[in-house]
Structure 1
Amino acid sequence: MSIQFADLTFPSPTAESLNAAFGAVSTLLDEGHRTEALARFDAERRAYDSWASMVALRFSQDTTSPQARTDRDLADRLTPLVTELEVAIKRRLLDDRAGLATAVGTHTVRLWETDITTFDPRIRAALEEEARLGADYTALLAAARVTVQGQTVNLSGLAPFAEHPDRAVRYEAEKARWDFFATNGPELDRIYDQLVQVRHGMARTLGYDNYIPLGYRRMRRVDYGPEDVARFREDVLAHVVPLVGAIMENRRLTMNWDRLHFWDESLIDPLGNPKPAGGHDLLLERAQTMFDRMGGDLGTFYRQMVEGGFLDLRNREGKAGGGFCTAFPTVGMPFIFANFNGTQHDITVFTHEMGHAYQNWKSRDLPGIDLLWPTMDAAEIHSMALEFLTWPQIDLMVEDGLADRFRRMHLIGSLSFLPYGVCVDHFQHEVYANPGMTAAERHETWQRLEKLYLPWRDYGDLSWPAAGGRWQAQGHIYRSPFYYIDYTLALCCAMQFWLHSRADQAGAMAVYADLCALGGSQPFTGLVDAAGLISPFRQGTLADIVQEADRFLHLR
């Protein structure tokens, strides 16, 4: 019988129980039992991560639940303590780097060497405050209620209206969205300013000039730095922005619009974005056929997800927006969270999160919790690649006869994302390099960068985003600084899987499954090499991808 999500329970820890648990690891080290200490250390980390993952998931499932908020507050208080306890033990274990490398591998050693530079007991209170502010942002957006076409919906529920074939409906949806942000803009500015100051303060306490190097270390990037990312942003500007500009101009001409407005960008297909073949239950049923046809053990894994109840895909009141995949390392099963809304995003978000889930499942038996997930840059390769690898079977998930239009829309959407993704990253680099910026200066910075990376963008009379407030809707900027570039780096790799699959679908799937099984056993560039991919940091990589995409789309 498969593992049932409903049966999972993880005991709530306390500060006392955590001190005792990690203290037992230290005692084993004191007694010279290094092998036993490593095993106990891994077990305690898995236990805490499983509990914390469940707490975060329950809060996302119902942000209005007092119990979920209480548990989330407890996790926010305990996680800095756990980090302190973990770092202390990692420091002890790193005293014998050669022996540690033999036991856990050189990559885990590099990760731990990075981890110990990101924490000091002096920043524990700041970490708690950072978590509290992130939760405040999540709850504020989850509580949003806006009215469009006579219907009151949350922000996730706006998607069908934002992609509506009727231009007036799209405008109404975006006006409702940005009226909410305008109303709550001062509070969103306050939350973000406090986050910036808290993070800058942590960095200064730890001896850094600003948060940027600390942010990279917290992301566990051991093989590249801000200079490499800056060069990648330049490549996007040079190769991708012109193609996306041509795509936008082609859309304007096709639709005979005098100007392409922001509310027109979501209507990628002039005939109307293809929609899913049906609702939640039909999509889940057809996904089983799709994954079975793709070969290997993907279908077997998906069946376990469904039968075990490890999916929460319906949009509802009080549920946090967006989608994510989490996992419970003590049981080896991931969980997918999303908000189906009847648009093409149901398909892309689902296949994206399935990529994360499949990777975590494939690597579930690797030794050591640090290997179960790769760093987020590599993790996004698995998710975005699966979006493309489902292309041959995507007919099952899309309205009858519209699969070719869906594939075209998906490719255009992927290309269009790259300039936005690097804009988000560039914005964060400027913010954290200049933490004393006022709220107005941050909005001006976003305006300037948006004109650089998205020169076609025209907000019309949507005053809040036109004045530089668009970034406030991007939760990663608040909750996960410097994460967003990972999507763009991974997309550059995922599109190489797309190129491979067009020539050899079975071969691409085999390489993909092998990559997933490697988990986090290597850093980003090592995993890229292992899969036979070309690094996004290598000059010309994007140029080749853009050239092939341009040929596929026949726009120029």
Structure 2
Amino acid sequence: MTTALRFEAISEPTPSQAELGDRYAAIGATLDSGDRAGALDEWDRLRRGYDTWSALVHLHFAQDTADAAARAARDYADTLAPEAADLETGLKRRLLSDPDRIGLAALVGEHALRLWETDVTTFDPAIKPELEEESRLTARYTELLASAKLEIDGQTVNLAGLGPYAEDPDRAVRHRAEQVRWGFFAANGAELDELYDQLVRLRHGMACKLGFATYTPLGYRRLRRVDYGPDDVARYREQVVTHVVPLVARLLEARRAEHGWDRLRFWDEALIDPAGNPRPVGDHDTLVARAQDMFAGMDPRLDAFYGLMNQGGFLDLKNRPGKAGGGFCTSFPTVGVPFIFANFNGTHHDIGVFTHEMGHAFQNWQSREQPGVDYLWPTMEAAEIHSMGLEFLAYPGIGKLVGEAAADRFRRMHLIGALAFLPYGVCVDHFQHEVYANPDASPADRHAMWRRLERIYMPWTDYGDLEFLNKGGRWQAKPHIYGSPFYYIDYTLAQCCAMQFWVRSRRDYQAALEAYVALCGRGGSAPFQDLVSSAGLVSPFADEALSDVVREAAVVLGV
């Protein structure tokens, strides 16, 4: 059935609060009758339908943030979400109170019970208004960034459309692009400060209502982190400072010397390749077509899956006015086929975001037969292994997308970019830990926090005449800080694991690929570190994990 499915054929009726209440009451009655298995089956169907409807609503809004109907639908979904969470949490509490834990675990899995035990600590009816307001504020942030109309070299572009200018071989063009980008953020800085200030105070208030001293432990629980905590993450950040920051500093110094610049400025960092960053071989349609050849050369499972996605209309990759920025993968658990959203802009980032989101999508497809909604996706740091892992595993066929003559240059550029990302990624994480530890800090205090942390993680950064950045405003361009607190470290943890797949693929590509596909199939059936171990990878929290991959990368890059 799914092989012929088309995206436009997917639909779910809009649920009402009363309808959800009735369905949960019916599930409770089934439990009362002693039919626990039947109740769990009905609950799984309900959650799949609700999640599919919610995914469709939020996707349609992202596809056109200026569409009034899409905005109204999202507003309704954001209003309903706390009510649905109340019903879901109540049922989880009831199930967890069942004295027959062994029997319940036999039906849903012990890991699901551990996830539910975490979930029930993150919600209380008392925080419903705050949850609705949190959604409203993050939607406003998305709308604000999507509204950007930027003038550069006689063209009007959005933020994604600045990409080609920001990595142009001409240094003056790159400088102008960053002046235009950060001019937009400076013009909207007061609203961005106010939005974030409201979000921080709102989240701190929710945490206090739920019995936490600060938002940090609540943020970790909302991300369902059950096998590590802030202390583990802090040690990982220290490993990045020890092993990665010096290597990136050497790479940037080599770039400065190669170009003959007196100083490497911020607008020089995006130009990784001295000959100009390799670009896709053609436009959107060419790239989409060539990708089929690339996946066919990698693995028949990837080949068939990509064909299903492309032919079924499950890709929205073109940049256009009003479209939300960035890229993501969402899913519709009633049908099992995911959807990829991105904004192609003609740069190498098109290839990066495409292979990244394809990794998410392939994992969701491979794990579609996992029992229960809780296991369809892993927690996000594990999910990012699939996305970043596929970026590296696509190396052998990447010439299909950039041309064979540029393939080696692309691989080198991507590897350097992966390493350079780590200090920035952990800086974003450390910043959020400081913000939520100090919820009464002023906007100026937060900008000062960022600048201080930049000097630890990215000491090479020179913003020149970009005053907004010199004042500590760079973090305001990162949507995760506003909409998904504490998420961003997940990318860096996953990068450590993805690079282990890269190291293994250099020795035995097929074995690395099989381990990757098997990991995708496990979905979210285990916690992060157990999934990592099951794939033969070393946990990022182990001291040797990061140092080993950095050592290999330094050899390959010759620095």
Bin the TM-score by the shorter chain. over 0.9
Asked whether the 8 Å contact 1:222–1:523 carries over to 2, the reply is yes
Task: Tell me, yes or no, if structure 1 residue 214 matches structure 2 residue 202.
Answer: no
Match for residue 122 of structure 2? 118
State the AA in 2 paired with 1:333: V
Q: 1:221 Cα deviation (Å)?
A: 0.2
Match for residue 319 of structure 2? 315
After the TM superposition, which residues 140-539 of structure 1 pair with which residues of structure 2 at under 5 Å, given as runs? 140-539=144-543
CA deviations on 1:242-275 (whole Å, 9 max, x unpaired) are 0000011111000000110100000011110000
Task: Tell me, yes or no, if structure 1 residue 47 matches structure 2 residue 49.
Answer: yes
Q: Secondary structure at the match of 1:397?
A: helix
**CA distance in 1 between partners of 2:524 and 2:342 (Å):** 24
Match for residue 23 of structure 2? 21
**CA distance in 1 between partners of 2:372 and 2:300 (Å):** 25
**CA distance in 2 between partners of 1:506 and 1:531 (Å):** 14
Q: Which runs of 5+ in 2 are unaligned?
A: none
Match for residue 7 of structure 2? 5
Q: 1:99 Cα deviation (Å)?
A: 2.2
**CA distance in 2 between partners of 1:194 and 1:527 (Å):** 36
**CA distance in 2 between partners of 1:175 and 1:27 (Å):** 62
Q: 1:34 aligned to 21, 36, 42, which one?
A: 36
Q: 1:9 Cα deviation (Å)?
A: 1.2
Q: 1:100 Cα deviation (Å)?
A: 1.5
**CA distance in 2 between partners of 1:132 and 1:426 (Å):** 26
Asked whether the 8 Å contact 1:237–1:453 carries over to 2, the reply is yes
**CA distance in 2 between partners of 1:407 and 1:500 (Å):** 16
**CA distance in 2 between partners of 1:350 and 1:191 (Å):** 30
Task: Name the stretch that deviates more: 454-463 or 33-42.
Answer: 33-42
Q: Secondary structure at the match of 2:12?
A: coil
Q: Secondary structure at the match of 2:543?
A: coil
CA deviations on 1:54-85 (whole Å, 9 max, x unpaired) are 00100000000000000000110011111110
Q: Secondary structure at the match of 2:264?
A: coil
Q: 1:541 Cα deviation (Å)?
A: 1.3
CA deviations on 1:301-334 (whole Å, 9 max, x unpaired) are 0000011100000000110000000000000000
Q: Secondary structure at the match of 2:263?
A: coil
**CA distance in 1 between partners of 2:208 and 2:45 (Å):** 33
**CA distance in 2 between partners of 1:139 and 1:282 (Å):** 30
State the AA in 1 paired with 2:57: V
Q: 1:94 aligned to 96, 104, 109, which one?
A: 96
Residues 399 and 151 of structure 1, relative CA distance in 2, 3 Å threshold: farther
Match for residue 85 of structure 2? 83
CA deviations on 1:515-545 (whole Å, 9 max, x unpaired) are 0000000010000000000010001211111
Q: 1:98 Cα deviation (Å)?
A: 2.4
Q: 1:38 Cα deviation (Å)?
A: 0.5
State the AA in 2 paired with 1:515: L
**CA distance in 1 between partners of 2:397 and 2:27 (Å):** 49
Match for residue 66 of structure 1? 68
**CA distance in 2 between partners of 1:448 and 1:284 (Å):** 42
RMSD: 0.7
Q: Secondary structure at the match of 2:464?
A: coil
CA deviations on 1:396-436 (whole Å, 9 max, x unpaired) are 00045110000000000000000000000000000000000
Q: Which runs of 5+ in 1 are unaligned?
A: none
Q: Secondary structure at the match of 2:316?
A: strand
Q: 1:28 Cα deviation (Å)?
A: 1.1
**CA distance in 2 between partners of 1:270 and 1:463 (Å):** 27
**CA distance in 2 between partners of 1:449 and 1:51 (Å):** 40
Asked whether the 8 Å contact 1:277–1:400 carries over to 2, the reply is no
**CA distance in 1 between partners of 2:181 and 2:420 (Å):** 21
Q: 1:15 Cα deviation (Å)?
A: 1.0
Asked whether the 8 Å contact 1:18–1:82 carries over to 2, the reply is yes
State the AA in 2 paired with 1:13: P
**CA distance in 2 between partners of 1:294 and 1:23 (Å):** 49
**CA distance in 2 between partners of 1:120 and 1:27 (Å):** 23
Q: 1:16 Cα deviation (Å)?
A: 1.1
Q: 1:347 Cα deviation (Å)?
A: 0.4
State the AA in 2 paired with 1:541: A
**CA distance in 1 between partners of 2:515 and 2:545 (Å):** 19
Q: Secondary structure at the match of 2:317?
A: strand
Q: Secondary structure at the match of 2:4?
A: coil
What is the TM-score with the length of structure 1 in the denominator? 0.99
State the AA in 2 paired with 1:15: Q
State the AA in 1 paired with 2:363: Q
Q: 1:294 Cα deviation (Å)?
A: 0.7
Asked whether the 8 Å contact 1:332–1:361 carries over to 2, the reply is yes
State the AA in 2 paired with 1:35: A
Task: Tell me, yes or no, if structure 1 residue 107 matches structure 2 residue 80.
Answer: no
Q: Secondary structure at the match of 1:92?
A: helix
Residues 400 and 295 of structure 1, relative CA distance in 2, 3 Å threshold: closer
**CA distance in 2 between partners of 1:34 and 1:554 (Å):** 60
What is the TM-score with the length of structure 2 in the denominator? 0.99
Q: Which 4+ runs in 1 deviate beyond 6 A?
A: none
Identity of aligned residues (%): 62
CA deviations on 1:214-237 (whole Å, 9 max, x unpaired) are 000000000000000000000000
Q: 1:479 Cα deviation (Å)?
A: 0.2
Q: 1:31 Cα deviation (Å)?
A: 1.9
